[in-house]
Structure 1
């Protein structure tokens, strides 16, 4: 039997043995022609194999083996959902998840709902998007009632909140951006805060400071329950009302490494279809003590590991631009917009939501501050100052499909 031992300096945050049997995963990967040459040698060793010896698995690797995985499960009569994490209609980034979506196993560790709850599910359904179906399944497995509603427009919020209250809704699920958008729409319309909601379930993006502040002000009694993962890994970890913000406790079958600060996942669940052995999820993280007092460390997610921008031949990161902007007390939130990327006329915009006491010259002073601190940008825009601007907006752009607020938006100019 081939065994794997987690490195002693990166302990798994879940209880239980640090030694796991990876032979099934190795056999599956060795049986996929696209990647077989990487894994066959490890099966032939006849000895224990450590994580650090195995190659990292990337998103492009999964895209490469996807047709072979699909063929395998069709031959095995395995039922599954096919979801997409992005891409285009001609080149989607697809993933296969067991029909039960691991929900029975997840709910042994994370139980946000009871049979007394009525949850309004405002994730967008359809179009290969997974979160709406996942939370419907969580509600069903918990014995709760689910209003499988879908996303709300701002103008609809007051009307539908009345509907939710009349139907006894006690919980709401959505992205942090959707939760913030709903609460902001309440405030703008003069509608009373929906304090009948005492549970908030979320996933898909960090619970940012803006949403945290809105929830504390308008729903101070609401408990928060989050899950972290991706369409490929599915749920990796969970958090509850006592947990530190954006800190998650790893499920027993999800093994987490930190490689150069990047989160790497090995899924040993026997029903997993995606053969995730040292999979680079694309986020940065760290192991920390959690405010809930758990004796094992939690996983704090620090943001994306792959948001570099090549703008006018200079490499930048969206994080450094946003962090510099938000360090200004006159800026509440910021987002990077890249227009016509790669074209001669490409432009970079930092969109900001200004504080109420922001000075009139904020766009000028903030632009100068960013150019001073992010010196590479100054050299890239010296010959064309209009290629980099600051814009004050009332709200940041949302991804129309996922309703998340991305740190970076790349699109054609309007």
Structure 2
């Protein structure tokens, strides 16, 4: 069993370049703030992991594990590594850390996720992010590759089941609304007009295909860190602080699946399947099986990947909140809203909070920790004791899902 001791998240509204902060400085800030938040010392950490997608392009910097040694002398000699799985990089870093802990190699891990993405022009950023697609083989005619890819996903839902754009816009409206309660959300101060969440070409212009401005997750600078511990180390941590071990959240289940990198191949493979992305469904169900969760009603909240509204629309039926192709029902009846049957993205998700790619999976884990410990503040889901995360890389080329819960 692996426990989550806590962590820290940066303010996703910040622009590091404008503040004179480079990726090394952001890394140090994140680790130090996380240590302070959890009342841990650098000398306590036994292994370090970094989730990051493409700092090699945005920041001209690789080998990010080496930044641990720059943060504190106690980290000199720490075993470290960096993990890349596009937008699921942070979750894959968590998987690696949990595997080490479960294998008995180490008892306490520091897992950092970060991405700097606002230091280049938007078109350049779009080109860099395209590295998660099959370079030179797909979407070559798109100016903005990922808006095009998830426009194609919306088209696929239209083809198989029918799709009403109003339902996608309601997803966006909910997530932007949730973000207003999150003090770290990039869009918390955004203002919207009466036509913002509509197909109005001026208020909500087309980006690519069916994808409009309000369908899109936000390009963001940001970082997050979590500290993971074995049962023995978590028990010692709890005893030192005079709290019950049962009050600390634990990762009770995980799912990890991959699919061919080409979007079109995924669609061909699922042509006769009820789910558009069967491997996403498998990752979700794997996590629940490992956690002993038999029914979706045993989940209190979800933090899911909503890089675009169509991604969350897909997640709703793949999570089992509705039958395949019927995600619109959960949108219409308020199931996914705060106070609904299964609140989704109480934090604001990627659309509302922001999407610093390598940090997203770790931010989701931290938000799950906050929810089950009742420390999410104004975006707390009442009574949340078990949260599922769903983090996707590329066009669902990599999917990772965790179940985080608190026994007490």
TM range (shorter): under 0.3
Higher relative contact order (CA 8 A, sep 6+): 2
Could you say which structure has the larger radius of gyration?
1
Q: Which has the higher helix share?
A: 2
Q: Could you state the TM-score of these two structures normalised by the residue count of structure 1?
A: 0.24
Q: Which has the higher strand share?
A: 1
